[in-house]
Amino acid sequence: MSKRSKSKSAVPPTYNDKKDTHSETSSAAFRQAKHHNGIPTAQAPLNHPERIPDKNNKGKFCIQYEFKNDYDELISIRKDNAVDYKDGNPQGNQSGHYNAGPAGGKLKQHHTFDRENGE
């Protein structure tokens, strides 16, 4: 098993450079979100994932996870549902994805996926 260096003197990643990714499955996209934010893949969330009402899909919820990364920073990863704005302009439509970045701020990274696991 490889061990990731946790040197606090190392420079943390720059989250706002939008290291967006695309994966085939939702679990692969979640792993990418963790990787690009300095979170070990096997690390569990700090607490039970929070259900947040989805403002674009009435009656649905987004799930938000909180982690501490290798630089001791609090990171949020939120799973957003697919949305179709039905306004005739498909440019704003989005498939399911994870948004990620420092907790408390705008989650600027997008980690999209083609399908949920098991589909």
**H-state helical runs in the chain:** 26-35
d(CA 75, CA 84): 28
Strands (E), 26-83: 50-53, 61-68, 74-80
pLDDT band at 90 (very low <50, low <70, confident <90, very high): low
pTM of the model: 0.81
Q: What is the pLDDT of residues 35-72, one digit of tens each?
A: 999 999 999 999 999 999 998 889 999 999 999 999 99
Task: State how far the alpha carbon of 43 is from the alpha carbons of 19, 38, 62, 80, in Å.
Answer: 21, 11, 21, 21
